[in-house]
């Protein structure tokens, strides 16, 4: 009963936000050629044309809107609003609503990333990327994360499927699990996310802390391994990936330090080296920057 009340209250907040034009509302019937392109932990994602034009949007439809998913919807909507100015964060244009028996079936209307996820992009294009291309992608991602932290936000689910590519530009996405720095969270809640990317400290402590440095760096995936409790245990005991052959020494130095089990030992701003003079990397990073180490 309480879940239904909370859901109704949150949906009422969404409707009031639309009525007060805090967010743009799109009529669902303005979209056509709707195609399913992905599924995440809480939502399905579709690609759609708008008003019979070539303009493409991504529509993010959350699974059955219960008390949990409607909160994820609103949280993502609010966080997107606060970081919408950054070139390396996916844009949220507004909200639409699917007319159905479920009156709460809201969808986020978002920027469409034609390159797909970083994981798939690298699978398709890795051999064609120079090391400077890779440096630039790492730099853009670090700028997006820095922007979040400047806004007192931690992502909490940073991995290569939540990083998108549009016109060869990095776009950080999926803020459903994100939190404000200092925002309370239930220490008994389920540990979400992809095991290889989770801070090792999470596997052997009961409570989360709000130290920004614990949330910055993802972990390279353990390809071929089951992403399960056994892998989590091995990581907590010190298991790390092997070094990728022919990787430049300076880059090895950076990303192996990012694997350190102690958050305070990680090079938090290492990827901002070489960013000055120039524009503030937290607002509008250059995408053709030659990154020096």
Reading the block at residue 211, the tokens are 């130290």
Return the number of other C-beta atoms located less than 10 Å from residue 71's C-beta: 15
Q: Which helix (H) or strand (E) holds 139?
A: helix 131-150
CA gap 142, 132 in Å, rounded: 15
CA gap 236, 240 in Å, rounded: 10
| Crossing angle of helices 2-19 and 67-82, rounded to 10° | 30
The answer on whether 60 is annotated among ligand-binding residues is yes
Reading the block at residue 34, the tokens are 């709707």
In the 8-state DSSP scheme, what is residue 169? E
CA distances, 220 to each of 89, 197, 225, 241 (Å) = 21, 7, 12, 7
In the 8-state DSSP scheme, what is residue 265? G
Q: ∠133-60-190 over CA atoms, to 5°?
A: 90
CA gap 110, 56 in Å, rounded: 9
Structural contact between residues 57 and 93, judged by C-beta atoms closer than 8 angstroms: yes
Where helices occur in 167-270 by DSSP H, the ranges are 229-236, 249-258
Residue set of the binding site: 60
Binding site, annotated residues for ATP: 60
């Amino acid at each position: 009963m309480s879940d239904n009340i909370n859901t109704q209250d949150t949906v009422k907040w969404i409707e009031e936000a639309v009525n007060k034009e805090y967010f743009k509302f799109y009529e669902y019937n303005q979209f056509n050629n709707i195609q399913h392109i992905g599924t995440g932990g809480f939502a399905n994602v579709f690609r759609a044309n708008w008003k019979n034009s070539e303009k493409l949007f991504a529509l993010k439809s959350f699974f059955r809107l219960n008390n949990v998913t409607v909160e994820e919807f609103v949280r993502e909507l609010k966080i997107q609003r606060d970081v919408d100015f950054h070139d390396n964060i996916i844009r949220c244009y507004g909200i639409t609503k699917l007319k159905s028996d479920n009156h709460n079936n809201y969808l986020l209307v978002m920027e469409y990333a034609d390159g797909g996820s970083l994981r798939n992009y690298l699978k398709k294009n890795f051999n064609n990327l120079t090391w400077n291309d890779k440096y630039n992608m790492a730099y853009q991602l670090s700028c997006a994360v820095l922007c979040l932290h400047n806004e007192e936000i931690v992502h909490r689910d940073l991995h290569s499927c939540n990083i998108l590519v549009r016109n060869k530009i990095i776009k950080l996405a999926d803020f459903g699990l994100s939190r404000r720095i200092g925002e309370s969270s239930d220490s008994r809640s389920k540990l979400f996310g992809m095991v290889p990317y989770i801070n090792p400290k999470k596997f052997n402590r009961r409570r989360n802390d709000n130290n920004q440095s614990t949330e910055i760096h993802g972990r390279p995936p353990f390809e071929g391994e089951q992403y399960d409790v056994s892998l989590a245990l091995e990581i907590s005991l010190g298991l790390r990936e092997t070094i990728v052959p022919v990787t430049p020494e300076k880059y090895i130095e950076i990303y192996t330090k990012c694997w350190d089990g102690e958050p305070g030992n990680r090079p938090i701003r290492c990827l901002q080296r070489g960013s000055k003079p120039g524009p503030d990397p937290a607002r509008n990073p250059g995408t053709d920057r030659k990154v020096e180490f």
